[in-house]
């Protein structure tokens, strides 16, 4: 256990992005059995996962990353599809109740330099699969009511349907 925590501390001090550090911390707490429930729960806040009183404007149509991601990208499962094309489908859940919630997704491709491409892939039909290219994307998702959101990075596999489950906060 001490070796695992030491390894996580060393990795966090190296040249990792804040998202990498957050993922490492989530993984360590999962392995140590510290998380509440079956999966890690991440809240909006500063890079060290503390609550913050500062607000940040959220615009789903603007190709900008949030300083602090909100919500949680719970899982990305790959399902075979008959066409062998790269596709994506979202399942959105309300973080408190776990109830399914309709949402709109904007996926901004991330180029090789880490910049967001201005023209997003948009998904207005909730629950349906849509074809797109594989690779890295920055997700901005908003509930149909506009009260809940999720942001974060995704890596999509080629030739399968990527089923992305998100929790909206």
R_g of the chain, CA atoms, integer Å: 16
In a domain, residue 164? The reply is yes
- Residue, of 128 and 53, whose pLDDT is higher: 128
43 occurs within a structural domain: no
CA distance 14 to 21: 10
Same domain, 77 and 20: no
Confidence (pTM): 0.69
Q: Could you tell me if residue 105 is inside a domain?
A: yes
CA distance 12 to 18: 9
Task: Kindly state whether residue 129 falls inside one of the protein's structural domains.
Answer: yes
Torsion angles phi and psi, residue 26, rounded to 5: -65, -40
Token pair belonging to 116: 């967001």
pLDDT band at 12 (very low <50, low <70, confident <90, very high): low
Question: Is it the case that residue 123 has pLDDT exceeding 90?
Answer: yes
User: Has residue 46 got a pLDDT over 90?
Assistant: no
Confidence of residue 94 (pLDDT cuts 50, 70, 90): very high
Q: Are residues 79 and 27 in the same domain?
A: no
In this structure, are 76 and 24 located in the same domain?
no
The mean of the pLDDT values for the chain is 80
* Res. 101 pLDDT band, cuts 50 70 90: very high
- Report yes or no on 61 lying in a domain: no
Residue 39: predicted pLDDT: 36
Phi/psi region, residue 33 (left: phi>0; alpha: psi -120 to 50; beta: rest), is left
Domain of 24, in residue numbers: 2-32
pLDDT above 80 for 40: no
The reply to whether 9 and 91 lie within a common domain is no
- Which pLDDT value is given to residue 5? 59
User: How many independent structural domains does the chain possess?
Assistant: 2
Give the orientation angle of helix 2-13 with respect to helix 18-32, to 10 degrees: 180
Q: Is residue 114 part of a domain?
A: yes
């Amino acid at each position: 256990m001490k070796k695992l925590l030491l390894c996580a501390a060393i990795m966090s001090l190296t040249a990792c992005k804040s998202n990498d550090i957050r993922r490492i911390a989530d993984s360590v707490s999962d392995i140590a059995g510290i998380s509440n429930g079956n999966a890690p729960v991440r809240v909006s806040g500063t890079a060290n996962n503390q609550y913050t009183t500062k607000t940040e404007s959220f615009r789903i149509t603007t190709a900008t990353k949030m300083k602090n991601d909100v919500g949680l990208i719970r899982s990305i499962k790959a399902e075979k599809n008959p066409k062998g094309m790269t596709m994506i489908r979202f399942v959105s859940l309300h973080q408190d109740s776990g109830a399914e919630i309709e949402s709109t997704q904007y996926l901004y491709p991330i180029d090789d330099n880490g910049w967001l491409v201005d023209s997003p892939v948009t998904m207005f039909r909730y629950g349906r699969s849509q074809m797109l290219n594989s690779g890295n994307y920055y997700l901005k998702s908003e509930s149909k009511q506009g009260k809940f959101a999720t942001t974060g990075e995704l890596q999509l596999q080629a030739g399968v349907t990527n089923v992305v489950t998100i929790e909206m906060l």
